[in-house]
Amino acid sequence: MNQKILGYARLARPANLPTAAADIVAGVAVTGIFSSANTDIFLTAISGSSIFYLVFSSVFLYAGGVILNDVFDYKIDAIERPERPIPSGIISLRSAATYGSIVMFVGIALAFLVNSVSGSVAIILAVSILLYDAIAKKYDFFGPLSMGICRGINLILGMSVLGTLGYWWIAVIPIIYIFAITLISRGEVHGKNKNHIVLAGVLYATVIFAVLSLAYLYTDSIIFPLLYLALFSFLVFRPLRKAHSENSPENIKKAVMAGVLSLVVLDASIAVTFSTWWYGLLILALLPVSKALSKLFAVT
């Protein structure tokens, strides 16, 4: 593959993009469109194109965000990650800034094709992403919180498919989860972040309890959310424990990667609470896609 084309692809973090799509599909499930109680086939059919637009809106917004993140970080990356496309000279800073801006604009435009509520949520998400990239990530507390808020708004973007936001408060779950992952990532370069890892473990447990509470309140069959949460727990706690026992940058990076990719499983567990069991499998199918792409492209 052409080195420049590969550089543009690397800037967008392809392995992470299926996790953005998973947020949308989970958010759509929360509306009840795919629940066994919904017999309005017309409503389900009408929502098809809207879901398509929202999925790609989210993917483009996420991609634009990570591209512009590298633009803002080019001085730091020149020291800590000189192999990245911008500091290595493969992609110029100006080209990357233009690329990221266009990609983000396309994401907003796609959301407006669904309805004005979706478009408005997309604008709020884009602004939140830019605030994280430019300012919030520099702070130990507000950085992880800002990143979590971006993911929470992304879930809300999926909920906006019908033009209403009745369950917006569920976005607290990905906010807590991404806060935890971002805390762990603070030791990716130098290690020595055991306290952050312990706190992240507590936050992971909080997220699991929150989804279990949702399942208890909103589904007649708690077994399916339990199965997804069991898989989720295995995927996130195993590398986290290793990163704590051997607190090296390599193990921390693996814990972060596991956390990011396992967001797909968390989304699936939320989705099956508000839909049928097979809908969660559709989301879960994005996990091997992310894992395959993570072998070709960096996750962090």
The one-letter amino acid code at 91 reads I
- Stretch (H or E) spanning 122: helix 116-134
Residue 81: inside a domain = yes
What number of other Cβ atoms are within 10 A of residue 29's Cβ? 26
What number of other Cβ atoms are within 10 A of residue 35's Cβ? 17
What b/e readout covers 48-64, taking b as 16+ CB neighbours within 10 angstroms? eebbebbbbbbbbbbbb
Domain residue limits at 51: 9-294
Sign of dihedral through CA atoms 300, 138, 177, 66?
Answer: negative
Residue 246 zone, left/alpha/beta (φ > 0; ψ -120 to 50; rest) = beta
Yes or no: say if 86 and 10 are a contact pair by the CB < 8 Å rule.
no
Q: If we measure between CA atoms, which residue out of 186, 112, 88, 111 comes closest to residue 142? A: 186
Residue 107: inside a domain = yes
Yes or no: say if 27 and 155 are a contact pair by the CB < 8 Å rule.
yes
Q: If we measure between CA atoms, which residue out of 275, 283, 221, 281 comes closest to residue 35? A: 275
Residues 6+ apart with CB under 8 A from 168: 156, 159
Residue 23: inside a domain = yes
Q: What is the DSSP letter of 297?
A: S
* CATH code for the domain in which residue 14 is found: 1.10.357.140
Residue 1: inside a domain = no
Residue 299: inside a domain = no
Residue 300: inside a domain = no
Which phi and psi (to 5°) does residue 179 adopt?
-55, -45
Q: What is the pLDDT along the chain (300 residues), one digit of tens a residue?
A: 589 999 999 999 999 999 999 999 999 999 988 776 665 654 555 567 899 999 999 999 999 999 999 999 999 999 988 999 999 999 999 999 999 999 999 999 999 999 999 999 999 999 999 999 999 999 988 999 999 999 999 999 999 998 989 899 999 999 999 999 988 887 666 667 788 899 999 999 999 999 999 999 988 788 999 999 999 999 999 999 999 998 888 899 999 999 999 999 999 999 999 988 888 999 999 999 998 998 888 776
Counting the structural domains of the chain, the total is 1
Q: If we measure between CA atoms, which residue out of 74, 100, 102 comes closest to residue 88? A: 74
Residue 3: inside a domain = no
Q: How far apart are CA 140 and CA 145, in angstroms?
A: 9
Residue 95: inside a domain = yes
| The token pair that represents 172 in the structure block | 């607290």
Yes or no: say if 215 and 222 are a contact pair by the CB < 8 Å rule.
yes
Yes or no: say if 251 and 193 are a contact pair by the CB < 8 Å rule.
no
